[in-house]
Structure 1
Amino acid sequence: MSNVRRLSSRIWPWSALLIVAFCVLVQPAFASTIADPGRFLDQAENLRTSDHPRFVQMLAQIHREGPQLTPAEQWHLRYLDAWETMYEGNYTKSATQLREVIDHSGVPVLATKASALLLSNLSINRHYKEAFELANRLTRELPEVRDAEARFTLLYFLSMTMTSAGQTDLAIQYARMMESALPAGETLCKPLHLQVDALEYGKRLNSASHELQDAIAACVAARQPVLINSLQLIQAHVYLRDGQPRAALALLGRIAHDIQHSGYQPHMLWWQMNRAMAYAKLGNDSEAKKAALAVLAMSRPGDKNGALRDTYKVLYQIEKNQGHAAAALDYYEKYAALDKANLDDVSARAMAYETVQQHVLVQKLETEQLNQQNAALRMQQKLDAKAAETNRLYLALLLMALVFAGLWMFRIKRSQLRFKKLSHLDGLTTVFNRQHFMGEVERTLHLLEKRAGTACLVFIDLDHFKRINDTHGHAMGDEVLRQVVVAGRQQLRPADLFGRLGGEEFGILLVGCSHEQGMAIADRIRCAIEATTVECEGAAIAISTSVGLACTGAHGYDLRRLCREADSALYRAKRGGRNRVEAGAEDSMPIAI
């Protein structure tokens, strides 16, 4: 879901990514005059995550042309503006816009969607008390929500919020309600995954639990590789908790290819960490240390996650067993620091939840007191005594929650990792999505600039792709995109970056390549794609591409300039007859068939 992706994207430079979004070729699918604004807004909302550049273009178009909108359409537009503001990472402004939609739109479906998005916004910013207060209000309003998509979205975020608060039964209840409220196009994968996550958070899963296998089967049927990998990593951890390290190692070995193929860094960290723990439990300190050091090698400076914390614990135990006191102490200090940081966050969530629940109870008691103003003094005294007793009970429960907060830390971190997992890959082609690709390219260019390295940025656009969609259907168009990615990957090296920029356009960063090498690789990719055919009802569909290339040697390391030069080169390749490779303005001559 689109809101989930926002939860894990607080540190991304969204403004820069939106600037790059305008480098994409303008699509001619929409007329310059908006005849039906309501339908236009519905189309834009459906494109938010599947084609975000087009979504941005449509928002700009409706603001620019300013058609006559009904009050409901005006609020729909303001809701989409708030969504985009949150997408850019401006959570404070987005929260204000969402509250305006909730309080003043008068459109129940919009108010429900905005409330669910606001719940996500508050959780991201660690406004836990306000988030749980909103969750209580949305729970009371849930029976009145009739729109299938709005209800599904609301239940999804309520389940995640209750899991993070340690309310396992409530989280499972909301997830099961999602099963009976599936909108068109949804499957049981997400509800079952939420149930497994809640059970794992509450330490209710074991190696014989059928819920885990049911969730894996549902996500396999739904073709959700990221969720499948997440569930299997949970299963490996359950094996370890149940004292079955050999079973955990066997499972981790079977999913090794899927984990590595996905390239999703959080899953790779947890995979290596589970291997380290399994080997450590088997007494194989050598292999345990190799896996643990692999986690450290993949981690970035400043990372704070459960996998890194548990890795330091494994390394501490290994060094302690081997009598290396200094190294053991160093690893223990790092483990303790991460452990405290995670515990603080868990404690903050638990305290906020319990405080909100206590406030709800106090409000109920005050209401009862107002309804009984004319009661006898003795009854009033009993009510006051009951209120004081209840307050003491909840205070005791709150203190107990703080004592046991450390037990919830691991599930909280797993939930946070799940927030991140959908933000990196394109769902159709499994290469990087636009946001992650541009972020990785910018980071790589900074590193190359420091050591005077070279790289080439390549933009690839399929020739006459719209004709394939119109002639053979979008399903065949999707298959063509997948085959193009397969052909392109075969020509790349492990260090190269590959991402889908949107529609039929792809981007590649060739790391450590001179201009000549980049042109050669780009032409090999073009030839490989040209040699690829897709069968459709006995007929072969030919594919060709136009390629634009810009190198750091000629254009420097600024991402926006490289994008402009590569885009300009791509346009020259289109104008020059397509199926050819063009370099930036300051590079050398094109390669064509």
Structure 2
Amino acid sequence: MTARLDALDDLKVVNVAEFSEKLAIIAENPAELTQYQQDYLELLQSYEKSLRGDFDGAAVLLESMLARDTAPEIVFRVKALLVNVFAVTRNYRNAFSYLEQVSREVQSVTSTRAKEHGLSVLAYTYNQLSEFDIARFYAQLLINSATSEKALCHGRHHLIESLYGLGQWELFSTNVELSVSHCVNHRELIFANLIRLKYYNYLLLHEQYQQADEYYQSFIDSVAKTNYPFLLAGVLGAAAKNNLALAQYDAAEELARRTLQYSGSSEFSVPVLNAYDVLYQVNHSRRDYNKALEYHIKYTSALKANSDDRFVRQQAYHVAKAEIEVKDQRLALLDKDNELLFLQKNLYEQEVQQNRLIMLLLLLIVALVSFMAYRGMSGRSRFKKMAEYDQLTGISNRYHFNNQARVALDYCELDAKPAALILFDLDYFKNINDQYGHAAGDWALQQVVKTCRNFMRNNDVFGRIGGEEFAVVLPGCHADKAALMAEICRDAIATIDTKGSGYTFPLRASFGVSSSDTSGYQLKQLLADADLAMYKAKQSGRDQVSMYTEELG
């Protein structure tokens, strides 16, 4: 029976339907199984639930197995599977808590199957965390120790992922075809096509669009046969970007829409981001600006959600890691305390008391020093924040904005990337202060900043450089996209409901946009040109966006 369960274990990602059918047959007579076989069966049932998308049910079943006496190799595999289940449901804290346990236990596991599973989970998860050096280490361990062709295929896939993340293109290129052939020859079509997708992205990254299109045609039929939505969405999203680069707009649009169909509930995955970006650019090229704006808003919203999710994931990983380190330190301290007590048990009571008093005094000194150090560090942090950020709106002040903007512009110039600058101020702001008071004016400034930040990327530099004057540096952004961003912000400011201030008054802003194409990469020149454009917007009736051109100079 154990051999039958092992065969099902190998079948689960090759043929999900057949795996579920055969698993149900074995589960009909659990009384015929040994305790180990029953635990193994429950582990496979947890896999089946996760493959069907019932991650909550899988988590409940798996954690119930940890609460009872179970074979060590099964316990290890339960923890490894919980890493995947909790990561998919974005319960990152639990996921990475189990990840740390798996990484500590993997070298001591005696079961080959369990060890291969653990190494695969570690390599995959560290790739998702962008810890590519660690992922490569575990992938290579899996390749070196693999006893099955399936495990070797999985290890090669994880290695390809980490090499791509590290940008080690020579090793990446030489490993792709060998890895694909190996996985195809051993019926691991999903992993073979995941590797092909990574090579497809490599071709797009290096702007080899025609070769990329030919490569896509060579493996898209194999991808379709897998019926794996995540893989299909990834390939179609990349193909949409490729067709856009080849100016094949109709095909790009169709592929983007199919990407969204296969993405399901993945609201901010990379395929979804690719699809929204393609739909925005296609409609922009057709001058259908309403649809372009609609998709650009969806793209920026998904991009922000993706960035927030990555931040939460990284934060949860480091918190879980720190918690386990603290537990280890506590155990080490307890061990030391026990050794100390053992050595002191024959000493006179007076000496014991004296030693305890000395230890207490030392702890008090350490606590006092730690407290003073903490106060000093928090004070420095507070003063640094006060020196760099505007106290009213929370964004960069003029000094900090200038420093951050120059860093961003120098980076763009060095990498030959475009950059743009948006300058805007509020129309008739003095009237608001004069008629309704400075409290209403302060409220208006805070709402404007809060509204505009919703449409900005994480790497955009946003600062208050005057009373009601603001500037935004957009690295990697062309002039037309910056103008569209300014138009979005202008429209959003005009729709702010001012009743929250206690008064009702109009809020409007005039925008000027400059870019590195016409103004270069010097902040001073970009600001000067954007100011000229904003002055033109003011002259033309205010509440509008004006782009700097050489005629304005």
Superposition TM-score, scaled by structure 1 size: 0.51
Distance in 2 (CA, whole Å) between partners of 1:47 and 1:244 is 37
Cα 1:93–1:326 change in 2 (3 A) is: closer
Cα 1:207–1:293 change in 2 (3 A) is: farther
Distance in 1 (CA, whole Å) between partners of 2:226 and 2:44 is 31
Q: Does 1:334 align with 2:316?
A: no
Q: Does 1:246 align with 2:219?
A: no
Q: Does 1:222 align with 2:183?
A: no
Mapped contact 1:119–1:131 kept (Cα < 8 A): yes
Q: Does 1:293 align with 2:261?
A: no
Distance in 2 (CA, whole Å) between partners of 1:280 and 1:85 is 38
Map of 1:188 onto structure 2: 152
Cα 1:120–1:311 change in 2 (3 A) is: closer
Q: Which runs of 5+ in 1 are unaligned?
A: 1-36, 397-404, 408-593
Q: Does 1:312 align with 2:273?
A: no
TM superposition shift of 1:206: 7.0
Structure with more contact order per residue of length (Cα contacts < 8 Å, sep ≥ 6): 1
Map of 1:167 onto structure 2: 131
How is 1:195-206 mapped onto 2 (pairs within 5 angstroms)?
A: 195-205=159-169
Q: Which amino acid aligns with 2:196?
A: Q
SS of equivalent residue, structure 2 residue 90: coil
SS of equivalent residue, structure 2 residue 96: helix
Cα 1:361–1:383 change in 2 (3 A) is: farther
Give the one of 115, 122, 127 matched to 1:151.
115
Mapped contact 2:260–2:275 kept (Cα < 8 A): no
Map of 1:55 onto structure 2: 23
TM superposition shift of 1:368: 6.0
Cα 1:380–1:177 change in 2 (3 A) is: farther
Aligned Cα root-mean-square deviation (Å): 3.9
TM superposition shift of 1:267: 4.5
Distance in 1 (CA, whole Å) between partners of 2:236 and 2:10 is 38
1:215-259 residue CA offsets vs partner (Å, 9 max, x unmatched)? 234334434333333222222222222233333234234435544
Cα 1:362–1:220 change in 2 (3 A) is: same
Mapped contact 2:280–2:296 kept (Cα < 8 A): yes
Q: Which amino acid aligns with 1:352?
A: A
Corresponding residue pairs, total: 352
SS of equivalent residue, structure 1 residue 104: coil
TM superposition shift of 1:74: 5.0
TM superposition shift of 1:350: 1.1
Moved more, 41-50 or 216-225: 41-50
Distance in 2 (CA, whole Å) between partners of 1:75 and 1:262 is 30
Over the matched positions of the two proteins, sequence identity in percent amounts to 20
Distance in 2 (CA, whole Å) between partners of 1:135 and 1:88 is 23
Distance in 2 (CA, whole Å) between partners of 1:364 and 1:246 is 54
How is 1:435-584 mapped onto 2 (pairs within 5 angstroms)?
A: none
Cα 1:146–1:406 change in 2 (3 A) is: farther
TM superposition shift of 1:52: 2.8
Give the one of 241, 256, 276 matched to 1:277.
241
Largest Rg, 1 or 2: 2
Map of 2:454 onto structure 1: none
TM superposition shift of 1:191: 0.5
TM superposition shift of 1:323: 4.1
Mapped contact 2:256–2:275 kept (Cα < 8 A): yes
TM superposition shift of 1:173: 1.2
How is 1:411-426 mapped onto 2 (pairs within 5 angstroms)?
A: none
Mapped contact 2:256–2:274 kept (Cα < 8 A): no
1:291-318 residue CA offsets vs partner (Å, 9 max, x unmatched)? 2333214533766332232132133234
TM superposition shift of 1:385: 6.1
Cα 1:44–1:217 change in 2 (3 A) is: closer
Mapped contact 1:128–1:352 kept (Cα < 8 A): yes
Map of 1:101 onto structure 2: 65
Distance in 1 (CA, whole Å) between partners of 2:111 and 2:172 is 37
1:387-425 residue CA offsets vs partner (Å, 9 max, x unmatched)? 978xx89xx9xxxxxxxx979xxxxxxxxxxxxxxxxxx
Distance in 2 (CA, whole Å) between partners of 1:127 and 1:70 is 33
Distance in 2 (CA, whole Å) between partners of 1:224 and 1:104 is 34
TM superposition shift of 1:349: 1.0
Q: Which amino acid aligns with 2:251?
A: K
Mapped contact 2:92–2:316 kept (Cα < 8 A): yes
TM superposition shift of 1:322: 5.0
1:509-565 residue CA offsets vs partner (Å, 9 max, x unmatched)? xxxxxxxxxxxxxxxxxxxxxxxxxxxxxxxxxxxxxxxxxxxxxxxxxxxxxxxxx
Distance in 2 (CA, whole Å) between partners of 1:206 and 1:406 is 31
Distance in 2 (CA, whole Å) between partners of 1:194 and 1:182 is 13
Distance in 2 (CA, whole Å) between partners of 1:349 and 1:239 is 29
TM superposition shift of 1:89: 5.1
